[in-house]
Chain A
Amino acid sequence: MPKRLLALLLVLPALAMILLFFIVPLAASIIGAFEVGDRFGLDNFAKSFDLYSSDMIFTLVIVAISTALIGIIAIAIGGYLTLGENPRAVAVLRWLYRWPMFIPFIVVGQVMRTFLAKNGLMNNVLISLGILTPLQTTGFLDWRGIVIAFVWKQTPFVTLLLAGAMASLDRSTIEAARNLGASRMRILIEIVLPQVAGTLLVGLILSFVTMMSVLSVPLMINAQSPTMLTADIAFRINAHGDYGVANALGMISLLLTAGVALIYLRHSVKERS
């Protein structure tokens, strides 16, 4: 048997799984989005825009704000881990930041639902510190709750990638800039950041796609309107058995993500070649 054929045979079963249980249903969802009864048409999309256009904007705004915040915080933490001068503070931060990384979204949803509620621990601590009075408290269980949950869960992942890339940089340019009297902020923005921009981009895009497809967090924190498209899709299926509109909404979220995913694929193909 030629070696190439053997290699293909070894990979084939795993590839078949992806084809059968991801690509085929993905294609079914795209075809289903155009199915109206026995014919094809754009009715599902018309209905989707009619009912859920505010949720589309809501979804995009929430995910965009979360991605931006994740990027800023990851740069701040990664920058301190790389350029921080106090080894003890760096060690503490390194130990601290990664705790939420592997916590499942469903647990994050439950944790945040209790923590951010009007009578949650966050408000209770603020009250007992005298920062708020009981009458001033408000719950954060709306779009802010979703953003907080996303940022809390995804920042460690992006930071881990970013800090890893920063740690493997050549230290000599950093030391040279420092010897010339550049501030750490300036070193971070002008020397370190441009060199790790690719890694940051990959981390942020993966986070963006992940947040676009999380169902549990919007269901648990903010299921009433306006909500995220994932919650709408689940509602269309469970309450109406309406696969047409659900698939159309799915395709809209696919298109929103596709632009971002394309950037990623181009980047990683470029890296690979």
Chain B
Amino acid sequence: MTARFDLWWLPRAVVLGLIAFIIFGPLTNLVLWTVAEKWYFPHMLPLEYGFSFWQRVFSSRGNAMSSLATSILIASLTVLVSLVLAIPAGYALSRLKLPFRGLILLAFLIPQAFPNLPVYVNIARFFYEIGLNGTITGVVLVHVTHGLVYAVWIATAAFAAVDVDLEEAARSIGAGPMRAFRDVTLPLAAPGLLASAIFVFLESLDEFTGSYFVGAPDVNTLPLLLYTAGAGGNYQIASITALLLLVPSIGFMLVVERFLRADVLSKVGH
């Protein structure tokens, strides 16, 4: 029995090692580029390491800090607007009688279910006419539209996972509908709403195409900075920017299950 066990670990280790290389190889390459001072063919590893590019990115003259601030501002505003829209919508979709409920839920999926490039091109043209092109407001509106499917679907699932009896109990001892919602339902749905907020925040932080057409060159977010640095052949700056975007994404991947409990997850899209 033990002999067979040992033998099987050989192919297993080879396959798992290969998968690990496929997944972490590119990421390692990115990290190496952020600290490579000198690196050229055919050397497998950089010839000199250092943080001079980090200094340049984070210096007061560098535009990474202002891009980071712009990105965080846009993402925060996007979360705020999305939640203001999604909390009432999610409550109505989960608790109240709505005609065409299934179709309404599907409508929020539309921005994800069609190629959005032609849409962004025409939004940019329309925003240009009304003076919204190249403004934070314009970019936030585009990001909210794209992220609403997460906000509304997860909010709907979060409210659906809260026991109706609790709200009715509060009502029966004299709480008004607003009070029952604020003191009972909303706090119980909070973990799910937080998860949807994180989803929307990341979606906004990472969004490139819409920002490229609606925001650039006046509103410079991190993905736009990454794109221009990479297009200019400055791989160190591009890699450092990429790493800044990577950290929250991977952090979220590692904790997502703690926020989205199975009872909420199983109700998403229903």
**What is the interface of chain A, defined by CB distance below 8 A to chain B?**
3-4, 6-8, 10-11, 13-15, 17-18, 21-26, 28-29, 32, 86, 89, 92-93, 96-107, 109-115, 118-122, 124-125, 127-128, 134, 152, 206, 209-210, 212-216, 219-220, 230, 233-234, 237, 243, 246-247, 249-251, 253-254, 257, 261, 264-265, 268-269, 272-273
Contacts and interface: CB of A to CB of B under 8 A. Distances in A.
Interface string B1-36: 000000010001000100111111111111011000
A144 to B, nearest CB: 14
Given A107-B246, A220-B227, 20 more contacts: A4-B99, A7-B96, A18-B110, A21-B141, A22-B145, A25-B122, A86-B12, A96-B19, A102-B253, A105-B208, A114-B33, A115-B30, A121-B44, A122-B29, A124-B45, A125-B25, A134-B42, A152-B26, A206-B112, A257-B114
Contacts of A26: 114, 118-119, 122
B interface secondary structure, majority: helix
A231 B70 CA distance: 26
Interface in B234-259: 235, 238-239, 242, 245-246, 249-250, 252-253
Contacts of A265: 106, 113
Contact of B41 (A3, A92, A119, A261): A119
A106 to B, nearest CB: 5
A140 to B, nearest CB: 12
Chain B CB count within 10 A is highest, among A22, A104, A107, for A107
A6 B208 contact: no
A111 B242 contact: yes
A216 B208 contact: yes
A257 B148 contact: no
Interface residues of B, number: 86
Contact of B115 (A99, A128, A250): A250
Top 7 A-B pairs ranked by shortest CB distance? A250-B118, A104-B206, A119-B41, A7-B96, A213-B115, A124-B44, A10-B92
Interface of B: 8, 12, 16, 19-30, 32-33, 40-45, 85-86, 88-89, 91-93, 96-99, 102, 104, 106-108, 110-123, 125-126, 141-142, 144-145, 148, 152, 202, 205-209, 212-213, 223, 226-227, 230-231, 235, 238-239, 242, 245-246, 249-250, 252-253, 269-270
Nearest to A216: B208
